[in-house]
Structure 1
Amino acid sequence: MIPLQTQPMSFEEFLAWYPEDNSRYELIEGVIVEMLPTSPHEDISGFLIAQLNLAILQHQLPYSIPRSCLIKPPSLRSGYQPDVVVLNREMMVNESLWNQASVIQNGQTVPLVIEVVSTNWKDDYGHKLIEYEAMGIGEYWIIDFRALGAVRYLGKPKQPTVTICQMIDNEYQLQKFTKGQYLESRVFRDLQLTTDAIFDAANL
């Protein structure tokens, strides 16, 4: 159960509080938020993990995808648990909190992070985009399969969209992919993955 908060919580306090009850929580600007993904949300996450793991094996990349981990951005009062996070095993030596708490603090350890949009879409397009960019995470995918984001992010009329944010000159450049398009990833350059395949995973 989330404790009654009378003041913002620090990331260290959040780690000390985090329960071992198989629930998922994030800390956003000092406020604990329980993550309540839907079945379609989990289906898409699972599909992406399978596709990326296959690419990792085929191309013998030094990457792994943990079942769960916390991303600690520069903000003192935030900690995120992405839907999918790809880690560079060669950089894990620099992660002092990994062995004790599965926490990643360095953007160079994270080639790719993915968020599947749900009702908290403002966090995915707002807080998380800003924080992942500040960390220097090379690539960030926003999977908005229900077109929940605002028109300023999706265009008009709104439609299911994958937004890929790629780090160029220390800031994210955004590219949108809609129905019938192949994704273009700089991390997985040979990945043959369409938006349709991702969106259809929610309907299986």
Structure 2
Amino acid sequence: MVQTVPQLMTLDEFLDWYPDGYGRYELWNGVVIEMQPTGTHEQVGGLLGVKLGVEIDRLSLPYIIPRQAIVKPIDTDKSGYSPDVIVLDQFSLNEEPLWKKHSTITQGKSIRVVIEVVSSNWRDDYGHKFIDYEELGIPEYWIVDYLGLGGRRYIGSPKTPTFSVYQLVDGEYQMQQFRGSDRIISLAFPELNLKAEQVFAVGV
């Protein structure tokens, strides 16, 4: 669920305003949106964060998973997204001008994987964010549609829970989809041992 805050802002104003530790917000074309995810939505995101965190630790990868971060789309000062899970390249953060003060990412190369867990506003994940993440050059984007809410043009018919992994190839996302006992295939985490059904099960 989302709730709007009735005040138009630029991204700089939004970042200065952001009440750290008191909720989760995004900025869409100057409009502040308060995100209110369900418990099952948080369970799915939490599981993915744990699984990737274990891989990062096991392989001693130079990645971090922040509790919260804002991703700034290209060519706008009026939007900023707060992904459900984001994996960052620790070494690239030194080149991020807004990271230390506002935990904000402006360059796709700083991100290894960005994950959105689908809820009632599924059009944002498959539409606006897909376009902006691709344009930013984020190498891997996961859309976790654990309830099968997305449009049929995205997940097929009949609609079923679908785990979509988009990988950037020559500047465009190429998609692989996983269901049931399919093992999730990720270039960022090639040894990840996780099946789609394991993720969907925690959202039931």
Give the 3 Å change call, closer, same or farther, for CA 173–66 of structure 1 in structure 2: same
| Deviation by residue 1:74-127 (Cα, 9 ceiling, x = unmatched) | 132210000000000011110111111111111100010000001111111111
User: Kindly, what percent of the aligned residue pairs are identical?
Assistant: 45
Unmatched segments (≥5 aa) in structure 2: none
Secondary structure of residue in 2 paired with 1:100? helix
Deviation at 1:16, TM superposition (A): 2.4
Tell me which residue corresponds to 1:4: 6
Secondary structure of residue in 2 paired with 1:66? coil
Q: What are the equivalent positions in structure 2 for 1:111-130 lying under 5 Å apart?
A: 111-130=112-131
Secondary structure of residue in 2 paired with 1:4? strand
Which amino acid letter does the alignment assign opposite residue 161 of structure 1?
T
Deviation at 1:2, TM superposition (A): 5.2
Secondary structure of residue in 2 paired with 1:125? helix
Q: TM-score, normalised by structure 1?
A: 0.94
Q: Is the 8 A contact 2:116 2:144 kept in 1?
A: yes
Deviation at 1:201, TM superposition (A): 1.6
Which amino acid letter does the alignment assign opposite residue 103 of structure 1?
T
Secondary structure of residue in 2 paired with 1:111? strand
Give the 3 Å change call, closer, same or farther, for CA 21–63 of structure 1 in structure 2: closer
Runs of 4+ in 1 over 3 A off after TM superposition: none
Q: TM-score, normalised by structure 2?
A: 0.94
Which amino acid letter does the alignment assign opposite residue 86 of structure 2?
V
Unmatched segments (≥5 aa) in structure 1: none
Give the 3 Å change call, closer, same or farther, for CA 9–130 of structure 1 in structure 2: same
- Paired residues, what number? 201
Deviation at 1:32, TM superposition (A): 1.4
Matched residues in 2 for 1:135 and 1:166: separation?
13
Deviation at 1:21, TM superposition (A): 5.3
Q: What are the equivalent positions in structure 2 for 1:1-204 lying under 5 Å apart?
A: 3-5=5-7, 8-20=8-20, 22-74=22-74, 75-203=76-204
CA RMSD of aligned residues (A): 1.4
Deviation at 1:136, TM superposition (A): 0.6
